[in-house]
Structure 1
Amino acid sequence: MTITRFCLVRHGETDWNAARRLQGHTDIDLNTRGLAQANQMAHALKKINLQFDVLYTSDLQRAAKTAKAIEALFKTSAISNSALRERHLGALQGLTTDEAPIREPALWKSHLSRNIEERLRNGESIQQFADRIKTALEQIREQHSGKTILLVSHGGVLDMMYRIASNQPLHAEKKVAVPNASVNWISHDGYAWTVNDWGDTSHLEGLALDNLDL
């Protein structure tokens, strides 16, 4: 049996995370706390002597800069992959969770209902997002079968990977938290996915913010 293991890391905190502002594809940098979290996460992986074969990251800078902490400590280079970006949230991008229901009430209501076909006006539907992430995940798995893959991405992306690995329906409410700079594990045995460990933030100093309910 060939086991392919994925260590999934969410990026560190941004100012928009702290403000509960929807980021989506907006390219927001890490804040000071986020940079510290990235370093704490990388050192925790080094402390357990994590052996991985390849490092992937979303091309958005909040993920890429989180990956840089791993690159520096492990003397490796990350493969940037735009397919690992957060869901494009269309007209909701840039709005806080307080502003959205006032400025885009119909879209916000549809968003909260987890209408899997809602594109949020020129954004990406949950179904489109799921298809993109599943394709990217399977391509990486097939390319590195039997290896350990370290992957840095976003809260919505990791939530989607959890759904894929646990067979959670797309329309179901979010089941797990994906805190900033958390470490999460899934694996594939050649037949099916398994969630091995989730939401580890024991390496962080202080609490980390969960991803917004996407």
Structure 2
Amino acid sequence: MEPTRIIAIRHGETTWNVDTRIQGHLDIPLNETGRRQAERMARALADEPISAIYASDLTRAWETAQYLARVQGMEVTREEGLRERGFGDFEGKTFAEIEALLPDQSMRWRKRDPEFAPAGGESLIALRSRVVATAERLAAAHPGELIALVGHGGVMDVLYRAATRLDIQAPRTWELGNAAINRLLWTPEGFTLVGWADTQHLDDGTLDDSAISGGSPDPLSAPSKIPEEIRRTS
């Protein structure tokens, strides 16, 4: 089977990203900056021979995907498996509010406890299982083709770990920026990383998804500079 090429894109910025407020499955739209980011992402990928675009059904990802669909002249397919992690009782709260109201749960979240799930939410194990199964299914349907997956920070984090064989509990040292372009390959043997966190099309920067590491101030959990050879994807 020929490899499937994948462009994975996190949604554009929302007001809740700016406020460090957990969105999870709550349906928050893009803000003005996010719409501008999505438009620039789409222009950057205008000449890519994309065969199919799949997006989370949450508005922020769905709207981001529509910009790409317009320049590609195709429709977007809704895919609930590309939704953000369900954060249950954390949703709608800022990092500071979670720390103050739910300190024990906040600690488990910050430590990336794989089995921890906020009340009504998903664990990291459940998120990984869902995202990997979804991405594998979609990639397997397009051997030898290029597809776009538009989702969320948690989805991008799982894909990066799957492609680099990193444990789900390992501290994060890679960027998960809004509207960044990430590239992977898939074969039946698994995912391979091609390029990550390309933001050359965004001249005003992008917000990293701190929710993935629980907003941890620990430098080991903070995103570091991505090497130029990885940032500059082909």
- Same fold by TM (over 0.5)? yes
Separation (CA, whole Å) in 1 of partners of 2:92 and 2:168 = 24
Give the residue type in structure 1 aligned to 2:30: L
Equivalent in the alignment of 1:28: 28
- TM-score by length of structure 2 reads 0.88
Separation (CA, whole Å) in 1 of partners of 2:189 and 2:31 = 40
Aligned residues of 2:50 and 2:72 also touching (Cα < 8 A) = no
Separation (CA, whole Å) in 1 of partners of 2:191 and 2:126 = 21
How far residue 28 of structure 1 moved from its aligned partner, in angstroms, is 0.2
> How do 1:81-100 and structure 2 match up within 5 A?
81-100=79-98
Equivalent in the alignment of 2:231: none
How far residue 8 of structure 1 moved from its aligned partner, in angstroms, is 0.6
Aligned residues: 212
How far residue 27 of structure 1 moved from its aligned partner, in angstroms, is 0.6
Separation (CA, whole Å) in 1 of partners of 2:174 and 2:117 = 23
How far residue 106 of structure 1 moved from its aligned partner, in angstroms, is 1.0
How far residue 5 of structure 1 moved from its aligned partner, in angstroms, is 0.6
Separation (CA, whole Å) in 1 of partners of 2:99 and 2:146 = 42
Give the residue type in structure 2 aligned to 1:15: T
> How do 1:172-191 and structure 2 match up within 5 A?
172-191=170-189
Separation (CA, whole Å) in 1 of partners of 2:185 and 2:66 = 24
Q: Deviation per CA, 1:68-89: give whole Å up to 9, x if none.
A: 1111111110100011000001
Equivalent in the alignment of 2:230: none
Aligned residues of 2:22 and 2:211 also touching (Cα < 8 A) = no
Q: Which aligned runs of 4 or more in structure 1 are off by greater than 4 angstroms?
A: none
Equivalent in the alignment of 2:48: 50
Separation (CA, whole Å) in 1 of partners of 2:133 and 2:209 = 22
> How do 1:85-124 and structure 2 match up within 5 A?
85-124=83-122
Separation (CA, whole Å) in 2 of partners of 1:19 and 1:174 = 21
Mark the runs of 5 or more structure 2 residues left unpaired by the alignment: 213-234
How far residue 61 of structure 1 moved from its aligned partner, in angstroms, is 0.3
How far residue 205 of structure 1 moved from its aligned partner, in angstroms, is 2.4
Aligned residues of 1:133 and 1:160 also touching (Cα < 8 A) = yes
Q: Deviation per CA, 1:54-110: give whole Å up to 9, x if none.
A: 110000000000011111111110100011000001111111111110011111111
Equivalent in the alignment of 2:169: 171
The correspondence for 2:156, drawn from 140, 158, 163, is 158
The correspondence for 1:208, drawn from 190, 201, 206, is 206
Aligned residues of 1:117 and 1:125 also touching (Cα < 8 A) = yes
Equivalent in the alignment of 1:9: 9
SS of the residue aligned with 1:208?
coil
Equivalent in the alignment of 1:41: 41
